[in-house]
Structures are given as structure tokens and as C-alpha cells.
Chains A and B, each alone.
Chain A
Amino acid sequence: MSQTSDSGESSPASRGRRSRSPRAQEDGGDTAGDRLRQLSINEGEDRDRDHNRMIRIQYRKLISTVQQNREAMLNSKSNKLTEALEEANRLFDGVSRAREAALDAQFLVLASSIGKEKANELQLEMSAFDSAAFAEDLLTFMGINRTEVEETDDPEDIPGGFLPSDAWQTVGQEALKYLRRAPTFHYMMGSFKSEPPVPKQRIERQKKASRGKAERAMPAQLKKMESSHQEATEKEVERVLRILQTHFENDPNTPISFFDLVIDPNSFAHTMENIFHVSFLIKDGLAKIKLDEDGLPIIEPTKPTRGGEEDNRTGARNQVIVTLDQKEWKEIIEIFQITEAMITPLSQTTEDEMETE
């Protein structure tokens, strides 16, 4: 079982108990088997029962002790394994039946497993590796500060120093010198699995105004971009109509100046869009433009009537062509004192105005 004699344990020779059967030494001639049979027939049953029970208890105690102190027994300087074996030897002398012998066998399995482990470690015994010392030296290498004690709530944590946050990087840096690890290639180009549609229009950011309220606006705007252009136009035309109708309902007697409606003093581009959308309303007969006393265009939603034809003809005759360049746009804003857009741009739209998505 063991390979060197430098341990505290005894050599196999002195443990040659396997070759000995109980009391065979004294009796000489009888075989163990004969002896056992004789014993179980001859001895008084009551005395046997108590005796055997005691043996079993002691074996179990021995096995339990050995199991719980396994690590201690592995310590090369320990004699405990030999002592346990000697104890088992002693117990075996009192064994007379298979039942107790089985416990002895169980103990032997345990002892030999420990013995094997010990032998394994004995190989390195000449160059003992003190793992605790290694751990301490590692901590030192990592830059542990032993004067400062780290506050820790964890009872498991071993006190005795503050470990810097780059401790493992320090070890890692050194470790790389001993590992032939291949560097890896990382890239983004070519890693995409599919080709989603890419929005092609620049998002017109409404500067400061949109920042606060734009929580939902940006993704909504992206959505608008992705749906077909025609759909978007239709939706917007409807929205403009509703705005027009709302204003007209609030004050049916005051005509709405066309310029008031379409001009967005903050964005020339948006103004152009508004004109575009309003032209649809007129074309479809949903709104009509008239000229007021001053010759300036006013707009109102058409009332739905049965006799459509007449109205259409009327509408067609009253179509006005509006052209506007940036200079004129600015002039109109000044002249008409337009401070805010009636048709709010989408990015500033409130939940109420937005059609449910």
C-alpha cells in the first residue's frame, strides 16, 4: 500500500492481519471458518448478542471518526491512520460472525482509500507544496495591503488585508507570459445576419423643444418613415383636416386665414409640407379656399352635402395656386405676426392629437 517508509505509518508486514484468522494464532490447527462455526454454536446466545452489538457499535464509531477526520489523517505527519487500523485489528479479534466482519470490511475499504491518497501525496512529500503559503504569496503579488483591514460583513471572509480592484489583472498580466493563448479576431462588418430596411430620411430634430417631450416621439417618427410614403401622407392629410375642423367648430364665424393655418414659423420645410397636405384636402373637396375682402386667402372645411356636383364645380373654380419661397415665408411671418404653427409638427404632437397607432 505505501511506497516509502518515511511516514508515520507502519509497513505492510506488521499489518499482515489478513492472513490471520481470529484466535487461529492460539489454536494453531483450526481454520478460521471452522472456528467461526464452532463459536456461533457453542457460545451462549445472550452473551453473544450483547457482545456482537458492542462490536458493531465500536466499528461504526471508528468508521465515523475516520470519515470525519479524513483531512487530518492525510497529513503526512499524522499517525492517526495507523492508530485506527490498530483499533480495527483489536476489534476484529472479537468478531465471530459475518455480520460484524462485514463492518470490518467496510472499514478496510475506507482505510485503504485514505491510504492510497496518502501514498499519492507521499510521492511529493520530499518537495512539500504548501498551498497556504502559495496563497499568501499570491496575495502579496496582487498587491494586498495588509495594514489596512477591509470592512467586510461576510463571516466567511478571511480578514487580514485590502485587495486592490486590479488584483486579478496583475496576476493575469503575469499569467499571459506562461500561456500560449491565441489572440482572437473581432469585427462588426459582415456579422449582421439579415438586411433590415434602412430609413433614408434625415430626422428633422426640432432642437430644444423636442428634447423634453420627445420620449415617444423619436421612435414614432422612425415608424412613420418606415411605413409607405403614401400611407404617411394620407394620415397626415387626415390630421390636418381634423385640426382645421376643430378650429372651425370652435369659432364658426371667424374664417381661418390660409397662411395662419399652413405656416410654421419654426420651419420652412414643414410649411411646405403643410401646403402640400392642404392641397389634397382642396382637391378632394374636403376644404375650400376663398378670398376675403382684402384679397387674402381663407380656408374652411366643406360641409358634407347631398348635391355634390355643384359644390365640386364651385371648388374647382376657386382653386388658388400658392407659391412661397423662404424670403416670402419670413415676410409673411412678420407681417401676420405668426408665432406658432396651427398644424403642429409630428414631433411635437401630443397623445390626444395622434391617431391611435
Chain B
Amino acid sequence: MAAQMTNAHRRFLQVLMSNGITEASQARKLHQHCCEIDKVYYAHDKLDDFISTINSHLQPLFMQIRKGISEEDGRAHYAVVNLAETEVTKMASDYTETELELFRKTMDLIILSENGFASSTDILNLADQLKTKKMKKKEAEQVLKVFVEDKWLSEKNGEYTLHTRCIIEMEQYILSNYQDVARKCNICHSLAIQSQVCECCGIGMHLPCVRKYFRGQAEPRCPKCNEFWSCDLPGTSQMGSHTHHRAHSQA
């Protein structure tokens, strides 16, 4: 029998819902804040239990507070996500059908790309090929901006990738609908949108996972095939996800 919800739980859930995605240290502060306001027993290391209580009540509604790791900085984040696909969930009114179509095509580009990014040029070119309704480039630009504001996409140097919030919510959907293409990180086994890939055996790893795995190693070698890891390690020259894997020359 799950623990009872208190106002502290409800307040925590309300704030998380409004934020969309909350960074773990913020969530910890919020946990303390809610317990203080609503005079509920607080234990700083009991955040997971706290969240479990909420999740047990969200479960019948096919909602969940889910934890995920950012592909950018490796930090943990919490998001309130929807898990179901029903006639009711399709009534969501944040975006029009056309805007959603643009989003899906953008997602396609991102997932099918080598480095997990789609250039704004490529996305805008898709705009007037939409099936539901053609969209002008200017309109599409504006829609992309809203997707970034709402934290479904994130933008860097004119290129777009999926926001951590999106990955947390859509992971299962992506893994099942992009089965052959979507990569899983060899280290943490979660979906990897941005990744470094071994030219030799093809396994992929998140950049933060690469950083962690190769820390302190003199010669970075692929964990699977043991060949020399040819990509620039993140955090050495230029950190970031823009690393393309180089053409790998056989010795």
C-alpha cells in the first residue's frame, strides 16, 4: 500500500508540472521547500521515495515523474511525462496538427542524422512539403522557436536537437518506432540522440558517458572492439556534441 499524498507531494508535483523539466539539484531544493511549507517530515536523502509516492498515484493516469540524464552535461533531470496514447491524449491543444507534423519530421532528421543534429536549413526545407498544410519558412522559424521555448527542442549554432525533456518523454516511442536506426549508449544503455560512434564496430556512446568512461585512460579504446577510439574526446579540445567521427584508417 503506497504512502499517502500530502500537500507537500501535491505542491512538488504542481511545480514540476509547470516547469516541464527540472534539474535534479533544483528538485532537491524544491523537495525541502515543499516539506517545510506544508510541515511534512523531510529527509534530504528520501527524494526518490517522495517521488515514488507521487508516481504510484499518477500511475492509473498514465503519467509519471521520470528521471533522465542530459546528453549535454550529464546532469540528472526530472520531467512529468505522459505515457499513454489515447483519444483523450490526442486532444492536446498546445500545437496544431501541422506544427506537430513539422516536429515529427524534425525528429526524423535528428534521429537519422549522424550527430543528432538537424540544421535549420534542412528543417525549413521540409516546411513546404508538409502533408497537412504547407507552412511558410518564416512561420516554421517561429514554430521552431516555440518548440525551443517549450523545451522540446534545443538549439545550438543554428542546429536543432531533441531537448532532454523530449528524450525523457519520448524514449520508448523512439526506440520502438526507429528500431533499426536509434542508437543505444553502450555504457548506460539508454537512447542516445547525440553520440560518438566507433567507426570500427559501430557502437555508440553518449558524450558524458564517453567522458566518464575514458577518464584517466592514457589510450582511449573502444569498450567493445578495443580499437583506438578515433573521436575527439569531449572536454579535451572542444567540448560539445559536434564531434564527427573521422574516417578510420586501417593500420
Contacts and interface: CB of A to CB of B under 8 A. Distances in A.
A163 B18 CA distance: 28
B169 A189 contact: yes
A200 B178 contact: yes
A36 B102 CA distance: 81
A207 interface: yes
Interface string A184-197: 11111111110010
Contacts of B122: 214, 218-219
Would you call the interface of chain A mostly helix, strand, loop, or mixed?
Answer: loop
Given A198-B177, A219-B126, A327-B250, A203 B112 contact: yes
B219 interface: no
B140 to A, nearest CB: 13
Contacts of A12: none
A198 B182 CA distance: 12
Contact of A187 (B89, B101, B177): B89
A214 B119 CA distance: 11
Contact of A191 (B95, B121, B150): B95
Query: Which residue among A189, A193, A198 has the maximum number of chain B CB atoms within 10 Å of its CB?
Result: A189
Given A185-B17, A202-B112, A190 B94 contact: no
B92 interface: yes
Nearest to A200: B180
A255 interface: no
B172 to A, nearest CB: 8
B29 interface: no
A230 interface: no
Nearest to B85: A190
A61 interface: no
Contacts of A202: 112, 114, 181
Given A185-B17, A199-B112, A190 B150 contact: no
A193 B90 contact: yes
Nearest to B177: A198
Interface stretch (B32-40, B45-53, B76-84, B186-194): B76-84
Contacts of A184: 17-18
Contacts of B178: 198, 200
A185 B89 CA distance: 11
A198 B108 contact: yes
A190 B89 contact: yes
B121 A205 contact: no
Nearest to B183: A202
A189 B83 contact: yes
Interface string A104-127: 000000000000000000000000
11 contacts: A183-B17, A185-B63, A186-B92, A187-B81, A188-B169, A189-B173, A192-B85, A192-B100, A193-B100, A219-B125, A330-B250
Closest 4 CB pairs of A and B: A190-B89, A187-B82, A191-B92, A190-B85
Interface of B: 14-15, 17-18, 20, 63, 80-86, 89-90, 92, 94-95, 97, 100-101, 103-104, 108-109, 112-114, 121-122, 125-126, 129, 131, 150, 152, 166, 169-170, 173, 177-181, 244, 250
